[in-house]
Structure 1
Amino acid sequence: MPASDPPAIEASGLVKRVAAPGGELTILDGVDLSVARGERLAILGASGSGKSTLLGLLAGLDLPTRGRVRLDGVELTALDEEGRAAARAGRVGFVFQNFQLLPALTALENVMLPLELAGAADAEARAREALARVGLADRLRHTPGRLSGGEQQRVALARAFAPRPAILFADEPTGNLDEATGREVAELLFALNREHGTTLVLVTHDPRIARPCDRVLELAGGRLHEAGRRRAAGG
């Protein structure tokens, strides 16, 4: 029988320690995780629990003190920063709490940027299509400073999905939005995720945002705990 595809993400024995005024602080203490291709995983936890640290390690934005991470079959922890960036290119998208849009660029230019960096010949057409999908066809020429918080996060969603990544990491994507706007953005995130079939790793403090996911884990005391499981077709 042919070998099955490897998981989208595998982590084993992840430990992360940082220097602190009172001595070394352990943020993650032996995290093991496997995320199947196409799975929607939510990681819940209180502020300061290490959720964003874990997401950064899974994406190869940082290295663990100890342990291994494999992304789409590539061992990130065996690579230098340039190698990890190359492993993410074309495979990974990000949505951040603080939007991370370039303030001098228009919405269209922000979405075009990763497409152009990937060498897409149709970058502008794809960026226009992505912005129209998130309801911003009439905001193409607006810079972030002329957009509301909800509109900025919609631009960030368009930018993340336009390159058609296999894996999307979302770090508190509704954390800077009011409740109603946050709910709308979350619904759009999951709708885009369904359309693209993207593997999703979402970190949030809000169980309501996590509800549509196939699996929910909780990060507490530096370790992951099963918090609940939903039908894969749910949400």
Structure 2
Amino acid sequence: MSESILRVEGLTKQVSDSGGLLTILHGIDFALEARRSAAIVGASGSGKSTLLSILAGLDTPTSGRVILDGHDLFQLDEDARAAVRAARLGFVFQSFQLLGNLTALENVMLPLELQGRADAREAATEMLRRVGLGERLSHYPKLLSGGEQQRVALARAFVVQPALLLADEPTGSLDHATGERVMALMFELNREAGTTLVLVTHDRAIAQRCDRQLHIEAGRLLD
């Protein structure tokens, strides 16, 4: 059995609002082995995106631990967490999150340049070719379709060879047919790279393609 690359222990998130203390996540526990995939599913407002944000170290829990590839994220300061994110994580968002003033190639090069990679241009070019955008290297996001923008986002996420890829409703801004093609590409790239995948989705068919489904209801993990 593979070693767990991600362990979540007793994760709780509380915030204060006008009505007092609101608990968004209640004692979440799970582990995920390397090279496996998990879908986080649940109704809107159930805590899915909050959980994903904490897994990325972008939000902090009230209590509990997230251990990513041996790193206890919340025992690290923000600079150290950022370093772990840069080295270990890839992200794919519903809204693509491409930089509009950068070309497709420059968007994919950016995380490599932040790592100080001397081969950033070559690696980014090859990754864009891999996702079928070898003829779109110099195009800016506004000149690309939604499906093409999400393929650039996939290239940017996978080019750093992350240990863990986090995807938040990756087909939410796409029509059904385009979304199907993007998801097929994501799972194919995931297998090739040997990456561990955690995605938030409302799409039952996408969730069923994952090795595990983590059902959240009112901030509680049901299984």
TM range, smaller chain: over 0.9
Identical-pair percentage: 63
Single out whichever of 17-26 and 191-200 deviates more from structure 2.
17-26
Q: Find 1:57's aligned residue among 54, 57, 71.
A: 54
1:154-173 aligned within 5 A = 154-173=151-170
Partner secondary structure for residue 147 of structure 2 = helix
2-structure distance, mates of 1:56, 1:195: 25
Q: How far is the alpha carbon of 1:119 from its aligned partner?
A: 1.4
In the alignment, which of 72, 82, 102 is matched to residue 99 of structure 2? Answer: 102
| Cα deviation, residue 90, structure 1 | 1.7
Unaligned runs of 5+ in 2: none
Of structures 1 and 2, the one scoring higher in RCO (CA 8 A, sep 6+) is 2
Corresponding residue of 1:218: 215
Alignment partner of 2:215: what SS?
strand
Deviation at 1:115, TM superposition (A): 0.7
Of residues 194, 198, 211 in structure 1, which corresponds to 2:195?
198
CA contact (8 A) 2:66 2:72 kept: yes
TM normalised by structure 1 equals 0.91
CA deviation after TM superposition for structure 1 residue 122, in Å: 1.0
1:74 counterpart residue number: 71
Could you tell me which residue of structure 2 aligns to residue 17 of structure 1?
14
Deviations 1:27-70 (A, max 9, x none): 10110011111111111111221111101111211110111111
Once residues 21 and 205 of structure 2 are traced to their aligned partners in structure 1, the CA distance between those partners, rounded to angstroms, is 34
2:128 is the counterpart of 1:131? yes
Give, as a single letter, the amino acid of the residue that structure 1 aligns with 2:54.
Answer: L
| Residue aligning to 1:115 | 112
Distance 1:12 1:90 in 2: 23
Paired residues of 1:7 and 1:73 also in contact (CA < 8 A): no
Alignment: residue pair count = 223
Q: Find runs of 4+ consecutive structure 1 residues off by over 3 angstroms.
A: none
Q: 1:85 aligns with which of 82, 85, 89?
A: 82
Match of 1:229 in 2: none
Deviation at 1:124, TM superposition (A): 0.7
Unaligned ranges ≥5, structure 1: 227-235
3-state SS of 1:181 partner: helix
Q: Residues 59 and 71 of structure 1 are in contact (CA less than 8 Å); yes or no, is this contact kept in structure 2?
A: no
Alpha-carbon distance, 1:149 to partner: 1.1
CA apart distance, 1:83? 1.3
Per the normalisation by structure 2, the TM-score is 0.96
Deviations 1:60-96 (A, max 9, x none): 1111011111110110011121111112222111111
Tell me how large the CA RMSD over aligned residues is.
1.3
| Contact 1:93–1:161, Cα closer than 8 Å, also in 2 | yes
